Amino acid sequence: METTKDMAFFPPQTLQINGRLLSLDKPRIMGILNITPDSFYGGSRFSATDEALRQAEQMLCEGADFLDVGGYSTRPGAEEVPEAEEISRVRPVVAALAKNFPQAIISVDTFRASVARVAVGEGANMINDVSGGQADAAMFAAVGELGVPYVLMHSRGNPQTMQQLTHYEDIFTELMYFFQERILQLQQSGCRDIIIDPGFGFAKTMEQNYTLLKNLSVFRQLNKPLLVGISRKSMIWKKLGTSPEQALNGTTVLHTIAFLQGAQILRVHDVKPAAEIIRLLSDL
């Protein structure tokens, strides 16, 4: 396993966000704010703007660099949310966050170009697309025009079908091809800041998830910032025979492995434990 000293051979990346550069020479934390009634972990659900603002303030105080706002649950089996409903959930929260926390980096978790445009218009700084541009053919052009960083995640199908789409001849070859092809398409669309996410839990079995985590550093060949989203996921609590609510300790263990494997952004429900990992391992 590589140490953080080994990572010195890879030059640190930066993200350009509203004219300022964010260095990724140390791992960053993305706090999850779900404006949904059905996300898999109850602790991340917020139905009102004032609740989301209180949680955002706590996350920022604990060390979050990004706030990731989602109005459409993408857990396996989640129901479809109409476009208008997703916009009505996301728009007021993004606007309130931008007004109350002007220095915060606001990401919006959406696969719809229309939602991305509305969110950036209200003050969002980044788009996090779980479909990797597959759900909406207009997404790549939209993020290119908007000039915001884009999280390119690997997945297959949709929340209703992805658990039946887990067969790969060679998972690393297929994911690398997916990323290389779509990075080129994004660059041709004018998107300059691209972050990659292997998509833990999205069209992957538990065994495949752990294989990806164990070999996460492979993706650094793409020379793009690497985001990992494994917080409280079923790859943790199902393996332990518990529940999302009891998965914090397991999450911390796997976040530590992800950090040592080169993850530069951790997408988390619990900011303080993630920030403590970074503090403890920063001098290794």
Active site residues: 233, 267
Start-to-end CA distance of the chain, whole Å, equals 13
Angle at 31 between CA 212 and CA 215, to 5 degrees: 10
Task: Give CA–CA dist 261/79, Å, rounded.
Answer: 34
**Backbone torsions φ then ψ of 22, nearest 5 degrees:** -105, 120
Residue found under tokens 């791992």:
27
For residue 12, which of 224, 157, 208, 163 has the smallest C-alpha distance? 224
- 3-state SS, residue 226: strand
Burial group, residue 203, by CB count within 10 angstroms (0-12, 13-18, 19+): buried
